[in-house]
């Protein structure tokens, strides 16, 4: 019998984040082009007397270890669907920046779900697991799937996208986090009284992904939440400028931020941009990663 299961789950960057007007339920319709990047959290599930969460790694003091942790919520939802108790110890090894716009909590939720599903041999179908993911959060289905995908609706309705080659990234980690609802709220404030167009995926961006053309991708990167993130955290402008000055092909805020993402042409350029960003003093830490990365995977 399996007694312990470890799942590895990637972070994401949004290469396009087109945001529509607020819906009556408070969410925003999106054309959200997700790209999984090779920074990973791991979730290990072991049978236990009661549901318990522990964590190690970067900034774990900033995530809750009670039942509000998204990993705990994933275990509870799956257990309820299977009519069993969620008696499991989930240990999270965190490497994805917390509250950084890289979907770390979503990764842990998808990881816990797959780990418990494997540990408990639930027999749930992929589509049942994706439904539970969507209940846990808009970004959680993508954390399970990985690769690249277009997220419609509030981001949970996924269409996989072809990617024709590896893209190289540098990420600048900022001090502290930004609250996702606060950034969407600031988007609403900044667009109040304007006609917000229905979000659509950019054909140029999808073509750049499909052909693996980093220069074309750089020209097509957009994030409608960037003005809101910059309004709440003006210091991010200096980080973006430092990456551009150091030779990045393009610089943008990752999702709701405050992590900033720099697309570079090759691993050598990644090292140079990372060193320049650190030396600029405009960020707390830098990370280098390639994409696309596989979704949640049992190790």
Ligand X SMILES: C[C@@](CO)(OP(=O)(O)O)[C@H](O)COP(=O)(O)OP(=O)(O)OC[C@H]1O[C@@H](n2ccc(N)nc2=O)[C@H](O)[C@@H]1O
Interface residues with ligand X (CB under 6 A) are: 14, 17, 26-28, 30, 32, 101, 103, 106, 137-139, 154-155, 180-181, 184, 255-256
Alpha carbon 130 to its chain centroid, in Å, reads 16
**Residue 70 binding target from ligand ADP, ligand X, none, CB below 5 to 8 Å by type:** ligand ADP
Active site residue 41: no
Does residue 139 have an active-site annotation? yes
Q: What distance in Å separates the CA atoms of residue 113 and residue 72, rounded to the nearest whole number? A: 9
Q: Of 53 and 209, which CB lies nearer to ligand ADP in the complex structure?
A: 53
Name the residue nearer to ligand ADP (CB basis): 33 or 70.
Answer: 70
Q: How far apart are alpha carbons 255 and 252 in whole angstroms?
A: 9
Q: How far apart are CA 299 and CA 287, in angstroms?
A: 23
Q: Of 14 and 69, which has the nearer Cβ to ligand X? A: 14
How far apart are CB 182 and ligand ADP at their closest, in Å?
11
* Residues pairing with 93 in the sheet: 42, 56
> Could you tell me the smallest distance in angstroms from the CB atom of residue 165 to ligand ADP?
26
CB-nearest residue to ligand X:
255
The tokens for 195 are 């006609």
Q: Is 101 annotated as a binding residue?
A: yes
Residue 184 binds which entry of ligand ADP, ligand X, none, CB below 5-8 Å type-dependent: ligand X
Cβ atoms of residues 33 and 221 within 8 Å: no
71 and 108 in contact (C-beta within 8 Å)?
A: yes
Residues that bind ligand ADP (CB under 6 A): 62-64, 69-71, 92, 98-106, 108, 180, 256
Please report how many Cα atoms fall inside a 13 Å half-sphere around the Cα of residue 131, on the Cβ side: 8
How far, in Å, are 30, 50, 274 from residue 260 at the CA level? 20, 39, 12
* Residue closer to ligand X, measured from CB, 86 or 155: 155
Q: Is 127 marked as binding a ligand?
A: no
Cβ distance to ligand ADP smaller for residue 210 or 230: 230
> From the CB of 178, what's the least distance to ligand ADP, in Å?
7
Beta bridge partners of 14: 34
The residue annotated as part of the active site, out of 12, 94, 108, 117, is 12
Is 111 marked within a binding site?
no
Q: Report the C-alpha gap between 196 and 77 in whole angstroms.
A: 35
Beta strands in 209-253 (DSSP E): 222-223, 250-253
69 binds, among ligand X, ligand ADP, none (CB under 5 to 8 A by kind): ligand ADP
- Out of ligand X, ligand ADP, none, what residue 40 binds, judged by CB under 5 to 8 A for its kind, is none
Answer with the entry of ligand ADP, ligand X, none that 63 interacts with (C-beta below 5 to 8 A by kind). ligand ADP
State the Cα–Cα distance between residues 181 and 109, nearest whole angstrom.
18
- 23, 71, 101, 217, 219 from 244: Cα distances, Å: 35, 36, 20, 15, 13
Min dist CB 248 to ligand X, Å, is 19
Q: Are 254 and 273 in contact (CB under 8 A)?
A: no
Binding residues: 97-107
Residues serving a catalytic function are 12, 139
Binding residues for ATP: 97-107
């Amino acid at each position: 019998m399996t007694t312990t299961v470890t799942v590895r789950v990637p972070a994401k960057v949004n290469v396009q984040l087109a945001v529509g007007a607020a819906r009556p339920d408070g969410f925003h319709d999106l054309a959200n082009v997700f790209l999984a990047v090779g920074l990973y959290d791991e979730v290990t599930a072991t049978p236990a007397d009661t549901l318990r969460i522990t964590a190690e790694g970067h900034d774990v003091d900033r995530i809750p270890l009670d039942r509000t942790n998204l990993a705990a919520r994933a275990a509870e939802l799956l257990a309820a669907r299977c009519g069993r108790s969620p008696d499991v110890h989930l240990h999270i090894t965190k490497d994805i920046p917390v509250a950084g716009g890289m979907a770390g909590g979503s990764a842990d939720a998808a990881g816990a779900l797959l780990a418990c599903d494997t540990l408990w041999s639930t027999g749930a179908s992929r589509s049942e697991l994706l439904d539970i993911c969507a209940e846990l959060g808009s970004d959680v289905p993508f954390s399970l799937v990985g690769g690249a995908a277009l997220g419609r609706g509030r981001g949970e309705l996924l269409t996989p996208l072809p990617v024709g080659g590896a893209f190289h990234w540098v990420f600048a980690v900022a001090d502290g986090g930004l609250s996702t609802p606060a950034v969407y709220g600031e988007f609403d404030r900044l667009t109040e009284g304007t006609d917000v167009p229905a979000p659509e995926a950019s054909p140029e961006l999808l073509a750049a992904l499909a052909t693996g053309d980093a220069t074309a991708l750089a020209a097509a990167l957009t994030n409608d939440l960037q003005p809101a993130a910059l309004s709440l955290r003006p210091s991010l402008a200096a980080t973006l400028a430092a990456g551009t000055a150091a030779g990045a092909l393009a610089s943008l805020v990752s999702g709701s931020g405050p992590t900033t993402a720099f697309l570079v042409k090759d691993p050598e350029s990644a090292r140079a941009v990372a060193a320049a960003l650190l030396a600029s003093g405009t960020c707390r830490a830098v990370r280098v990663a390639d994409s696309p990365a596989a979704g949640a995977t049992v190790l």
